[in-house]
Amino acid sequence: MTKLLDENVVQQIREVFGQMKDPVHILFFSQKENCDYCDDARQLLEEVTAISDKLELAVYDLQEDAETAAAYNVDKAPGIVIAAQNGDQIVDFGIRYAGIPSGHEFTSLIQDILLVSGRDSGLQPATREYLKGLGKPVLLQVFVTPT
For the chain, the structural domain boundaries read 7-132
15: pLDDT strictly greater than 70: yes
Q: pLDDT tens across 80-111, in order?
A: 999 998 888 999 999 999 999 998 899 999 99
Longest dimension (CA), the chain: 50
Question: 106-138, pLDDT tens digit by residue?
Answer: 999 999 999 999 998 888 999 999 989 999 988
Angle between helices 38-49 and 104-118 (to 10 degrees): 50
pTM of structure: 0.89
pLDDT for 146: 62
> For the segment 39-76, what is each residue's pLDDT rounded down to a tens digit?
999 999 999 999 999 999 999 999 999 999 999 999 99
| pLDDT attached to residue 125 | 94
- For the cut 60, the answer to whether the pLDDT of residue 147 exceeds it is no
CATH number given to 7-132: 3.40.30.10
What pLDDT is stored for residue 142 in this prediction?
A: 77
Q: Answer whether 45's CB lies under 8 Å from 28's CB.
A: yes
CA atoms within 13 A of residue 52's CA, in its CB half-sphere: 25
